[in-house]
Each structure stands twice: as structure tokens, then as C-alpha cells.
Structure 1
């Protein structure tokens, strides 16, 4: 009896609601076929399609590398680094130098349209990306931003400024004297940032790009960037066979040093101590990298089957030296 009264009461309530909020026959049919979606299940992207982009703040985008004294026929470039954990739109980024009053001048917009730079990536701003790609190895050729012209950067000293909506977010006051003192010709050698956690203008935070890295590292990790505290030089494989079969034709020597701006001399000797190949002679190296030997001697002839010793000497300007020796085997087919 109670159930009959309750059902009767609900019918009267539904009847009253339909009078106050009439629903068409089509809507009633639609509701029967497709029940309403709970509010918690509605995706936010459906409710707010235009999510505002992040504003570039100081420290988000940092100056990573600058080439201000290119070789004859070359062009300048400025490499930037996304120092955040999220992508950033470069549309509001500007590049400038400093005038005699110490204020940003020759301000150039980096992009007129939306241009996203992923977290932890390096992008190069230049007026001629084809020229940079022709003169340097570019690991990520798509990571270029070409603009009509760069602000003028003196070959001796000057300032590189990054702005966002006309607010300075990073500034590098550079001087050609920052180059390694043993470099005789500075043309075409960039200066690279050592650390993104140290102030941009710290006296030790920009160094000459390593000669073994091609004197510049546009679009990828700087050669002088800190790599680790361990010092080592080791062979990837101790046996190689340079016979052109595509398998173990090259001997690779991996190295890492805690200090930057080191110089290296690398020689290869027979097991009897005869020098047959000079891989490096007093060249600047990066904090980490790989050297390769193709099995040829200094005359361009293939070295004979046997045991060889690779001697890797590194030294700094204070006279500190380190020597690493690795033994390898040059294998081949016996006739």
C-alpha cells in the first residue's frame, strides 16, 4: 500500500514539473536515447578552448651561445636555451644590443607568428641559417629562427640582450678576451655558456667552443657545458677491423673531463713505441666527446694488424697535465 502511494506521489511531482518546464517530444526522445553527461566527465578543453599561453619570465629563456666574429663570408648567430620544463612561445621574444646610454637598442622581434620551443632545447637565431649549416655541424637543422637582420654585435666587445614585451629577461656582456688565450685566430669561433644555473655574466661562464667540436655547436649541447665530475678516457671497443665491411671499421675513444677549456694531444703508437698517427695536437676540447681513428697512419696508409697504444694527454693553462693510455687491437683477415 505504501509503494502505491509513493508512486502516485512521484507521478504528481513529474506532472507539475512538466507544466513548469515543458519539454518537447523530440527532446524527450533524445533524453531517452542519450542520457545527460555528468558535469565531472566534461573535458576542460571543451569548456575553455582558448587557454592563455605562458608569459616569458626572466630565466625562462637564456643566452646559450654567441658567434659575434664570424669567418669572412660568415654571419653572426645567437643560440637560446629553454631553461624551463615546458614549451614556450617565441612570438613575444625580442633580440637587441645596447646603445651608448646602456639601454636596449636595435630591437628585433624573433617571430611574428606563434613559434613553440620545447623544454630543454636549443634554438639558433640568425639572418642566414643556410650559411651557418654550411660552416658548422647542426645536429637539429629544424631548430633555427631566421630573421631579416640581427642587431649589430661588435667583434671586440658588446652586449646581447633578450627581451619579452620590452622587458629584459637575459643579457650577456661579452668581450673577445674571453676566448682561450692560446687561440691565435678567433674568427669563426663561438663563445658557449658553461652553466645555466650560474649568472650569465659570471666571468667563467662563457668559454671558446672546442676546436674538436668544429668551433661552434649550433642547435645542441655546448661543448664546454659541464658533463660530470669524473675524468675518463676509454675505448668503446678494444678491437676494430678497418676493412670496409661496415662492421667495427672505426675505433672510437670516449672522453669526459670535469674541467672545461682543456687542451689535448692524442697520439697512436705501435706496441714497440713507434709513433704512427697524430690525432690531435694541442687542440681545445670539450668537457666530453668522442675521437675516432680510422686505422690509417699519418701517411694515409692502412696500419698493419697488431696491438696499438692510444696516448691521450690533456693540460690546462695552469700547467696541470693528465695522461691516459688505452690499448687496442687492429684486426684483419689473414691471407
Structure 2
């Protein structure tokens, strides 16, 4: 099992030359077995570096002491990744800064000579005559960073902030660089510099069964254009027989040039995605479920998400362990049912989980009876191997409405339903251009158009469906017995 302890230091001076390269003459190991800056007054900056190959799924921790109030002239950088052994030159890397103008702990990426702030810690946290603290950085296997600090006298680490790496910097060296003025050239101290595996279970995750292969998981439903006050969502379906680790997956959108935009991990810890289950991805479950009938045992990940452009785009699910594309859906708002008055709040549902992801015929608008969305549960337009049929269930003591149950072999049917009396007169227009799913139930309270009580007798339900894809029209006529006391 990997563990790299760069310190504590021992055998005064010997370890510096054995384990480090760079300005070794500017540092010493003091009698307290601390690495101490011991430079000439005009020798700033002073760096030490050593080889490493770790970045992801790693935790770094070190102690440092400064016998002064840090400033923009007196501060240090701890590099956790660099492609250049000389940490004072142009490089590609990642470093923790302690001190500087804001007197705080922060995390930065570096490209050439340019640095970018990733985590801007608590300002003035180090504003004191003498600073003694421990610093910890964790980076999980998705590149999610968490930076912590613990001042002398504090019992627990304080979270300075978090950030997601846009890309993984090259890793060849780690090390430290001290920036100092003449009066501070011997007042930097370092101890207990250690890096180790963050998640040992993830390090041992070598079984392919825990990772998704192409099309093990499919994009099953998306809502790019939510109702006012709602939230965008994506639904995934695990159609494999594997229990897949969610932290091995990310979701992203392609840019206009088809390059990948920022990837968003589905989890920052190991979590199971079980076979034959649905998973809702959204920024706010509450904002989704206020509009749709979410299942009581909803499997949901509330995560940072890529923005789903209303008009269309390319949505991608990737395995972030080996960068395999698991599924990709090039959606377009023109894929919605032509009979819809508005596409706001209407999701696109996959009809057949075994069908092609980018076959327009494999997608349809969610049904009206489901309020145009089925997040976290089976799609209203799913292919279920049904044969066309309509039946009526008359009211019982347990229910006071007629149930009109239907099932169709194809998705995307518009429905028209009318109740006639025995003379052929229309007594109730139930539905007109109602978008149905492949299976469901509609309700009628047994009353007329003006909500009046109908005379007892035999009535006729005329039920017409229009398959918008084929243009075929199917008609059903069923007798309905109305009994009123």
C-alpha cells in the first residue's frame, strides 16, 4: 500500500541531500528535527523538490511555522504537482500558498508563470505575529479538491474551501518554495510532510464490474426547459447486471466544436448504482418534485450540473476512470411532440432502453397525465411490449370515478375521448389532443359537460388515438353503464 513520508527529518543535513534537489544549501535540519530555512539574506526564493507520481485520490498534510506575520514578501508555496523540478521557473502545476497579501491559506494552479486561484481561503486567518499551523489538501479520484488548515491550539481542521479541477496537471515533482526578505531568511520551519492514499477502497477498485462500460448506463430522460420555479434534470438507467460505483462517472456537455466542456462527477464518494434502477441527477430535488410525482424511494444525486440548453445540445456520460463514453445523447427540442402547445416543463423520454440513443424515433415527450415528466421512475412512453387496448372500470365503494385504462404498443399517441348518450348526443367531452404514455389510467367522474348528474342508462365512450409518428388513427367504442339513485 502506498504511503510517502517525506518527513519527519533525521540525521541532520543528510536527508536533505538524499531526498531533495534544488537549493539544499539554503535549508538545514535543526535540533528539533525540523526542516528550517537557513539562507543568506539576499537568497530569496529558496526551493526544494522531490519526485512523485501521485495526484488523484491523495491526501497531503504538512506542518509549518513562521516566526513573523506573513506578507506579500514573506510567504511559502507547497507544490503538490509540478512538471519542472525547479519550482521557481515556468511550470505546469498545483500549489498551496500560505501567507501573502490576504494572510491566508489558498490553492492555485499554475501554467507557465501565470497562477489561477482555485480556493481562496479565509482572509486574515494568519494575521498574527507568529504563525504555526498544519495544512491538509485532499484530491479525490475525480479531481475534487478540499483544502483545510488547523492553527496551533485548534483541535480540528478548518475547511478553507473546495474546488473541482478542470484538468489534471502533469505530476513529476512536489516540493516547497520559500519567499523571504533579509530579516526572515531563517524563520521558516517545516515538519511532518506526508502524502497518502485518500480512499484505499478506491485505490483497490480494479474490478471492471464496479465500473461502467459503454451503454451499461443510458440517458433515459432529460428536462432542459423546466417550469418556472422548477429545475433541470437528467435521469439515468442502469440497464446492466452490475452494481456500478457512482464516483467513477461524470456528466458533461460538448462545446460547439464538439470538444468536452467541464465534467461534473456524480459523486465524490463511493456510492452504488444498482442494476435495473433509475437515478435522478439535478441541482435541486425539491424544485423537481414539486411539479412531478417523484417516487417515495427516489434515488437522486443533487450535484453541480452542466447547463442543458433549451434548444438542444450533446449530453455525455463518461467513465472518469478510463475516459470511456458510456452514453451520449444529441437532443433537440424539435424531438418533442408536434401537438404540444408549450415545451416548458416537458421532458424528453427514452422509449426503448435497448434502442439507439440518437434515434429520434426512440424519444418522445412525457405524457400529460404525468404532468409531462417522470423523474426517477419508469418512463410514461417506455416500450413495454403491450398490445393496444382500452377498458373501463366502473366505480365501486372504494372509488367514485370511472377508470379508463389504456395500453398501446407505440409511444406518442394523442387522445380524444367523448361520452355519447344512446341517441348519439355528446354529453361529455373528456379529452382533446391529450398526449398519452404507452400505459396509464384516465378518470371520469360520471357527470356531463356542465358537471350535471346524468340519467341512469347505457352510454358510449368514444376513444380515439392518433399515432403522430405513423399518422395512423385507431378508434375504440366501449359501453358505459351509469347508475344514479
Structure-1-length-normalised TM-score: 0.77
Structure 2 match to 1:37: none
**Take 1:319 and 1:97, find their aligned partners in 2: how far apart are those partners?**
34
Displacement of 1:201: 0.7
Structure 2 match to 1:164: 319
Determine which of 56, 67, 76 is the counterpart of 2:212: 56
Displacement of 1:302: 3.7
Between Structure 1 and Structure 2, which shows a larger proportion of strand residues?
2
**1:76 and 2:242 aligned:** no
**Take 2:232 and 2:450, find their aligned partners in 1: how far apart are those partners?**
37
**Take 2:453 and 2:346, find their aligned partners in 1: how far apart are those partners?**
33
Displacement of 1:261: 1.2
Displacement of 1:140: 4.2
**Take 2:454 and 2:270, find their aligned partners in 1: how far apart are those partners?**
55
**Take 1:107 and 1:196, find their aligned partners in 2: how far apart are those partners?**
24
**1:212 and 2:356 aligned:** no
**1:202 and 2:202 aligned:** no
Determine which of 302, 313, 319 is the counterpart of 1:146: 302
Moved more, 302-311 or 157-166: 302-311
Q: Provide, for residues 126-161 of structure 1, a one-character-per-residue CA deviation record: whole Å limited to 9, x for no partner.
A: 0011011001111345221111x3101111110111
Structure 2 match to 1:321: 473
Structure 1 match to 2:310: 155
Superposition CA RMSD, Å: 2.2
Structure 1 match to 2:264: 108
Determine which of 399, 412, 427 is the counterpart of 1:276: 427
Change in 2 beyond 3 A, CA 1:167/1:319? closer
**Take 1:248 and 1:192, find their aligned partners in 2: how far apart are those partners?**
31
Q: Provide, for residues 300-329 of structure 1, a one-character-per-residue CA deviation record: whole Å limited to 9, x for no partner.
A: 334343322211011134542111011122
**Take 1:193 and 1:324, find their aligned partners in 2: how far apart are those partners?**
27
Structure 2 match to 1:295: 446
Maintained 8 Å contact 1:68/1:153:
yes
**1:126 and 2:286 aligned:** no
**1:183 and 2:340 aligned:** yes
**Take 1:208 and 1:131, find their aligned partners in 2: how far apart are those partners?**
20
**Take 1:321 and 1:204, find their aligned partners in 2: how far apart are those partners?**
18
**Take 2:345 and 2:405, find their aligned partners in 1: how far apart are those partners?**
26
Greater RCO between the two (CA within 8 Å, min separation 6)?
A: 1
Maintained 8 Å contact 2:389/2:407:
yes
Displacement of 1:115: 2.1
**Take 2:471 and 2:356, find their aligned partners in 1: how far apart are those partners?**
28
Displacement of 1:197: 1.2
Unpaired segments of 5 or more residues in structure 1? 1-49
Q: What SS does the aligned partner of 1:212 have?
A: helix
Determine which of 320, 323, 331 is the counterpart of 2:483: 331
Unpaired segments of 5 or more residues in structure 2? 1-204
Q: What SS does the aligned partner of 1:309 have?
A: strand
Q: Provide, for residues 146-180 of structure 1, a one-character-per-residue CA deviation record: whole Å limited to 9, x for no partner.
A: 11x31011111101110111321111011111111
Maintained 8 Å contact 1:97/1:158:
yes
Q: What SS does the aligned partner of 1:123 have?
A: strand
**Take 1:58 and 1:319, find their aligned partners in 2: how far apart are those partners?**
35
Structure 2 match to 1:6: none
Change in 2 beyond 3 A, CA 1:115/1:308? farther
Where does structure 1 differ by over 6 angstroms across 4 or more consecutive aligned residues? none
**Take 1:217 and 1:185, find their aligned partners in 2: how far apart are those partners?**
18
Structure 2 match to 1:192: 349
Determine which of 104, 117, 125 is the counterpart of 2:273: 117
Maintained 8 Å contact 2:292/2:370:
no
Structure-2-length-normalised TM-score: 0.54
**Equivalences for 1:17-28 in 2 at 5 Å?**
none
